[in-house]
């Protein structure tokens, strides 16, 4: 029963945020601010994770490919598809659910508890439109970009690690990278990125916006939002794979 109540409130929140902005300039400024916070703010961790994930993928794939008849370039093919199909969109988005999601939930929760949201309401501002919509739109714009960067860096990390460990040369890697490439995989990765971006931004916004109580409840909302976002990402990952692959 509680699930349906919360789901209903979530849908009402999404419906409530669709309204005409009071002032386009202020909303644009807020949107750019959120793009910077979500995009630039998460870039460091995305770069680190992606490079190492790509590197480890190459090493582990090489470790498992014991047959001498399989050409070394196949390692690059496997790394490319693994990074594109799963690591870049899913793993990065799960990390972003923690980094971005907890930030969104605690920011909105703090604004609710310290009556800043009430102050905006009294000024005649639609707080759902002003506070939540720019976050969701910013996430929809920058998270797919981060996923694209992640995929590129993951493959690059695998290439560098392959050569550094003496597993395969960069020439072999590049050869494998270009063979049997399916552009549909990029499309699939982007579909996942958009769906996950929506989850990462809207679920924490819901929990943060509806916080009641004090500092303890903000912490709880933040944790709950990360857990729910991660579960939803994994569930959506499965559904999308079943539907689109």
Which is nearer to other proteins, 125 or 140 (by Cβ)? Answer: 125
Which is nearer to other proteins, 91 or 205 (by Cβ)? Answer: 205
Which positions ≥6 away from 68 have C-beta within 8 Å? none
Which is nearer to other proteins, 34 or 82 (by Cβ)? Answer: 34
Residue with structure tokens 């890697």? 173
- Of 137, 140, 134, 136, residue with least CA distance to 191: 140
Q: Are 17 and 129 in contact (CB under 8 A)?
A: yes
Which is nearer to other proteins, 124 or 166 (by Cβ)? Answer: 124
- The CB-of-118 to other proteins minimum distance in angstroms stands at 6
Return left, alpha or beta for 65; rule: phi > 0 is left, psi -120 to 50 is alpha, else beta. Answer: beta
- In the complex, which residues of this chain contact other proteins (CB under 8 A)? 22-23, 25-26, 110, 114-116, 118-119, 121-125
Q: What is the CB-side half-sphere exposure of residue 171 using CA atoms within 13 A?
A: 0
């Amino acid at each position: 029963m509680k699930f349906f109540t919360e789901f209903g409130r979530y849908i009402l929140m999404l419906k409530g945020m669709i309204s005409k902005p009071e002032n386009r300039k202020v909303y644009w400024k807020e949107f750019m601010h959120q793009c910077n916070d979500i995009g630039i703010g998460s870039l460091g961790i995305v770069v680190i994770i992606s490079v190492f994930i790509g590197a480890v993928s190459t090493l582990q794939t090489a470790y498992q490919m014991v047959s001498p008849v399989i050409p070394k370039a196949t390692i690059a093919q496997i790394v490319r598809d693994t990074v594109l199909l799963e690591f870049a969109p899913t793993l990065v988005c799960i990390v972003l659910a923690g980094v971005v999601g907890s930030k969104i939930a605690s920011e909105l929760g703090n604004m609710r508890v310290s009556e800043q949201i009430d102050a905006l309401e009294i000024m005649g501002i639609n707080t759902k439109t002003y506070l939540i919509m720019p976050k969701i739109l910013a996430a929809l714009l920058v998270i797919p970009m981060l996923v694209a960067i992640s995929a590129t860096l993951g493959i690059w990390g695998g290439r560098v690690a392959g050569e550094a460990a003496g597993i395969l040369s960069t020439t072999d890697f590049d050869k494998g990278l270009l063979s049997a490439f399916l552009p549909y995989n990029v499309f699939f990765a982007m579909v996942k990125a958009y769906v996950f971006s929506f989850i990462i931004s809207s679920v924490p916004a819901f929990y943060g916006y509806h916080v009641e109580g004090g500092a303890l409840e903000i912490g709880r909302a933040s944790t709950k939002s990360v857990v729910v976002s991660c579960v939803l990402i994994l569930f959506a990952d499965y559904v999308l794979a079943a539907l689109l692959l």
